[in-house]
Amino acid sequence: MEKNIVVLTSGGDAPGMNACIRAVVRTAIYHGFKVYGVERGYQGMIEGLFTPMDSSSVSNIIQRGGTIIKTARCKEFETVEGRRLAFENLQMNHIEGVIAIGGNGTYAGAAQFYKEFSFPIIGAPGTIDNDLYGTDYTIGYDTAINTALDAIDKIRDTADSFDRTFFVEVMGRDSGFIAMDVGLAGGAEAILVPELHNELDHLIGILQSGWGRKKGSQLIVVAEGDDEGGVYEVVKKIKKYIPSLDPRMVVLGHIQRGGSPTARDRVLASRLGAAAVMAIMEGKENIAVGIVNDQINYVSLEEAINLKKPVKEGLLKLAAMLST
């Protein structure tokens, strides 16, 4: 049952991608497959950058952040011509299956590629945003929230020392999962997420209530994709109503995407990488692997992209109650 398969990472990097690559390579070899790593994602498929991988290729990488086979955002793959070049390279190298590790953009490219060429392709959810349907958690999410929480704990120290209000922006392009968990775990007075709207009046009330109770420091966590804008835009709007506001703004940025993956991310990535190989063995195509209720789960790539995974609004209420 020997097959030639490739594994690639695409889009934003996420801690645990290397652990997933390792699992793909070693599971595939265990079952008699030949595995190639594609350098720089879909760009590498277009350029034919396929490198044979063996067990030693993935030694000592489970603890490393980033991705050893590199990643990229490929505009050329968004064109029919680019995807056709990628397909021709796969055929020329006798490749029979693709495992694509990445987020929403990676899945969208994979789904379109399958639609045009019916080429077996499996998605594994590698994104810190945790915004893909069909899996409770994505690879990199746990590490990202722990990285952000560590920074927020440090910000809390200086906020408390100065009795100061801090607005902290965390990643999460169109989703509030990072902001929600980090805000709750960090004891934030308010959390702004893109899934909920018209939050400004509520936030102003929280700030004023805190001052009325002579609360010293206050911490507001803002998801970068919130409809009110990032921290600078949010503060600009609030100052129209509270001119005396003198907060400090912090954008955590890309530190959330780096670092050694947590144990939870390493285990998740290992399970999903192995599951992706097993899906190819079982003849599955055009699907994304995930974990739901601690069990391997499969959904179509279209479902993973188009169906919305809701944030738990109850966590916002809990955060508000616990910050009083």
CA–CA distance, 302 with 98 (Å, rounded to integer): 17
> Is the confidence at residue 314, as pLDDT, over 80?
yes
Locate the domains of the chain by residue range.
4-140+261-306, 141-257
> Is the confidence at residue 261, as pLDDT, over 80?
yes
Q: What is the DSSP letter of 268?
A: H
CA–CA distance, 231 with 234 (Å, rounded to integer): 5
Q: What is the DSSP letter of 174?
A: S
How many CA atoms lie less than 13 Å away from 216 in the CB half-sphere? 8
CA–CA distance, 144 with 295 (Å, rounded to integer): 23
Query: Which pLDDT value is given to residue 214?
Result: 63
- CATH T-level fold of 4-140+261-306: Rossmann fold (3.40.50)
Query: Which pLDDT value is given to residue 229?
Result: 85
Three-class SS of residue 237?
Answer: helix
Write the pLDDT tens digit of every residue in 15-42. Answer: 999 999 999 999 999 999 999 999 999 9
Orientation of helix 177-185 relative to helix 313-322, angle to 10°: 20
CA of 272: how far to CAs of 98, 253, 291, in Å?
A: 14, 27, 8
User: What are 96's strand-pairing partners?
Assistant: none
pTM of the model: 0.94
Reading the block at residue 196, the tokens are 């909920």
Side by side, the strands of the sheet bearing 190-192 are 190-192, 218-223, 165-170, 248-251
Average pLDDT, rounded, for the chain: 94
Query: Which pLDDT value is given to residue 274?
Result: 98
Q: Which CATH architecture best describes the domain 141-257?
A: 3-Layer(aba) Sandwich (3.40)
Phi, psi values for residue 71, rounded to 5°:
-145, 170
> Is the confidence at residue 182, as pLDDT, over 90?
yes
Write the pLDDT tens digit of every residue in 292-305. Answer: 999 999 999 999 99
Q: What proportion of the chain, given as a percentage, has pLDDT over 90? A: 81
Cβ–Cβ < 8 Å for 119, 95: no
How do strand 121-125 and strand 4-9 relate by DSSP bridges?
unpaired
Query: Which pLDDT value is given to residue 324?
Result: 67
CA of 300: how far to CAs of 16, 113, 182, 208, in Å?
A: 23, 13, 30, 47
Q: Report the candidate in 98, 83, 110 with the shortest Cα–Cα distance to residue 38.
A: 98
CA–CA distance, 23 with 40 (Å, rounded to integer): 19
No. of H helices and E strands in the chain? 11, 11
CA–CA distance, 265 with 267 (Å, rounded to integer): 5
Write the pLDDT tens digit of every residue in 110-119. Answer: 999 999 999 9
CA of 80: how far to CAs of 75, 117, 322, in Å?
A: 11, 11, 52
Reading the block at residue 238, the tokens are 């609030």
Please identify which of the residues 13, 129, 142, 265 carries the catalytic annotation.
129
Write the pLDDT tens digit of every residue in 31-79. Answer: 999 999 999 999 999 999 999 999 999 999 999 999 999 999 999 999 9
129 catalytic per annotation? yes
Query: Which pLDDT value is given to residue 205?
Result: 85
Chain mean position to CA 119: 25
Write the pLDDT tens digit of every residue in 200-233. Answer: 888 888 888 766 566 678 999 999 998 888 999 9
Average pLDDT over residues 166-175: 92
Query: Which pLDDT value is given to residue 312?
Result: 82
Query: Which pLDDT value is given to residue 199?
Result: 73
